[in-house]
Structure 1
Amino acid sequence: MIFFQTHEIEAWINEDAALVDLTGHLLGVESQTAELTMRTRHATRLTMMEEAARIFEILGAQVLHCAQSGQDVAEGAVILQAVGRADALHRGWKVAMNLLEYLCGVATHTAQMVEQVKAVADIPLLVTRKHLPGMKKPMTKAILNGGAHPHRLGLSETILVFENHLNLIGGRDALHDKIPAMQSAACEKKISVECDTLEQAQQAAQAGSDLIQFDKVPLDVLQQWVQTLKQDYPALKIVIAGGINPQNVQAYAQSGVDGIVLSSVYHAKPADLGVRIELLQA
């Protein structure tokens, strides 16, 4: 899965509590031995559990239980338990809880949309790189645990020609020469071109594009375009992006495309988790 280096997790801790838990210090509860229990308040697809556990381990606590990322749990399920000094548990509490609530929300929403797609078509849900800078690893783990796949992990590993590229090479007519040259230079890669019209897609396919990405095309129009393109170019792959949501994802999945591209899962409602810290009697 996704590997997080220790210094990355330490940075999360230091951002929230770089020096001391002032409240705990003034209350004089720092050295007391306590137990932290985290539960779900609704059915949740889990992610980032291993990293949440490492937060408490780095702070010197002992993790007694950690549910596995990718697991579906019911309302009220205990997903994390740790024991240790009260100051360590308080210092890690909100860091772990905020991390899990936000990203489990993404994983849960992703899982729901993947289920919707699988119910009507055998095609992937592909999640874009339109996340906040610095969040690639957590977001990628969340969408993978939700059952989706990354659309593009970055600029370095895929080739997707946008209009802004075409503006610099003389327009779409240049694809006739550019695509064969790109295929020769990057022989292990597929060449994708974003298109807005059927005519643009036909031109790109004729030039040798392996995949067409349509953006914000109405469903009835898309169905016609896909049928035409698949008839003329049977090996051509087609994906649709833009405006995909839980209300229309199944309809678009049945349009004949080879994949659904979306970003909306990054804006999912956070999961609702509850945390209780209690004194352990000697």
Structure 2
Amino acid sequence: MIFFQTHEIEAWINEDAPLVDLTGHLLGVEGQIAELTVRTRHTTRLTMIEEAARIFQILGAEVVFQAESGCDVEKGAVILQAVGRADALHRGWKVAMNLLEYLCGVATHTAQMVAEVKAVSDIPLLVTRKHIPGMKKPMTKAILNGGAHPHRLGLSETILVFENHLNLIGGRKALAEKIPSIQSAACEKKISVECDTLEQALQAAQAGSDLIQFDKVPVDILQEWVKQLKSQFPALQIVIAGGVNLQNVRDYAQSGVDGIVLSSVYHAKPADIGVTIELLSE
């Protein structure tokens, strides 16, 4: 479960309406008791429902129904209802709708990608930290609800050596010296090295790398590289990153890799969510 602190949700509300809902105030509808209903306009994998509900609760409304994040709902399904003062409902309306549209879009696309992988393999779909700064929690919840896993939650979590690291230590030849010292200092961690060629991967594996992360390698070439590496280093794990999308993810899932790393789900088309606010009937 991803935990959102109350002040984080309050900041979302305050960003959109720091003072007053001017339209509602001038129309004189602030004190009317109304009902807000949120519906989907297509099949959707839900996420951030609990946080959307908390928006209205913080504003003093009563949430009378909420669906559950991680569930799939059909077109037209009611996913959230709240009752309260019209000014409270209007103040939270766009904040909640924008949150749900963007993040449910990510969750829905992630679920589609996961389904493609599961149709042909049992390997995990791993989503990178390549999100907009400040959006780590919402994006992480969305990909988890979509059935994927985080690749790296942050720099403090894993050891992944990139070309830019190698440029500072004398190149790939330095791995043979550096990896044993890293293994000693971080004995509970695995060491990963990003590679672009088979030669680089063989060198990293010989130096003691636990995992090779290939970047933007065509599927047919990747299959051959995986076979060669696994034959020489049976315990070596291999993942592929870069250029993976809904059209080719099945092919990559069948290439022999141990996992697929991607960030494309963050650019998913937003979900289509509808919101209505009406006077509460007696």
Residue equivalent to 1:229: 229
State the AA in 1 paired with 2:223.
Q
Structure-2 separation of matches of 1:44 and 1:229: 40
Residue equivalent to 1:144: 144
Report the count of equivalent residues. 282
Residue equivalent to 1:277: 277
SS at match of 2:42: coil
Kindly indicate whether residue 117 of structure 2 is the aligned counterpart of residue 121 of structure 1.
Answer: no
Shift of 1:219: 1.0
SS at match of 1:8: helix
SS at match of 1:117: helix
Residue equivalent to 2:66: 66
Residue equivalent to 2:154: 154
Unaligned runs of 5+ in 1: none
Shift of 1:281: 3.8
Structure-2 separation of matches of 1:219 and 1:112: 20
Kindly indicate whether residue 261 of structure 2 is the aligned counterpart of residue 261 of structure 1.
Answer: yes
Structure-2 separation of matches of 1:220 and 1:145: 31
Residue equivalent to 1:76: 76
SS at match of 2:84: strand
Structure-1 separation of matches of 2:146 and 2:265: 10
Residue equivalent to 1:167: 167
SS at match of 1:220: helix
State the AA in 2 paired with 1:54.
R
Structure-1 separation of matches of 2:280 and 2:6: 29
SS at match of 2:152: coil
Shift of 1:104: 0.1
Residue equivalent to 1:244: 244
Give the TM-score, by structure 2 length.
0.99
Structure-2 separation of matches of 1:115 and 1:106: 14
Shift of 1:41: 0.3
Task: Deviation per CA, 1:152-208: give whole Å up to 9, x if none.
Answer: 000000000000000000000100010111011000000000001001000000010
Shift of 1:218: 1.0
SS at match of 1:276: strand
Shift of 1:17: 0.5
Structure-1 separation of matches of 2:196 and 2:29: 62
Kindly indicate whether residue 125 of structure 2 is the aligned counterpart of residue 104 of structure 1.
Answer: no
State the AA in 1 paired with 2:184.
S
Residue equivalent to 1:87: 87
Residue equivalent to 2:206: 206
Structure-2 separation of matches of 1:199 and 1:276: 59
SS at match of 2:65: strand
Structure-2 separation of matches of 1:181 and 1:103: 41
State the AA in 2 paired with 1:51.
E
Structure-2 separation of matches of 1:7 and 1:194: 38
SS at match of 1:245: coil
Residue equivalent to 1:20: 20
State the AA in 2 paired with 1:222.
L
Shift of 1:79: 0.2
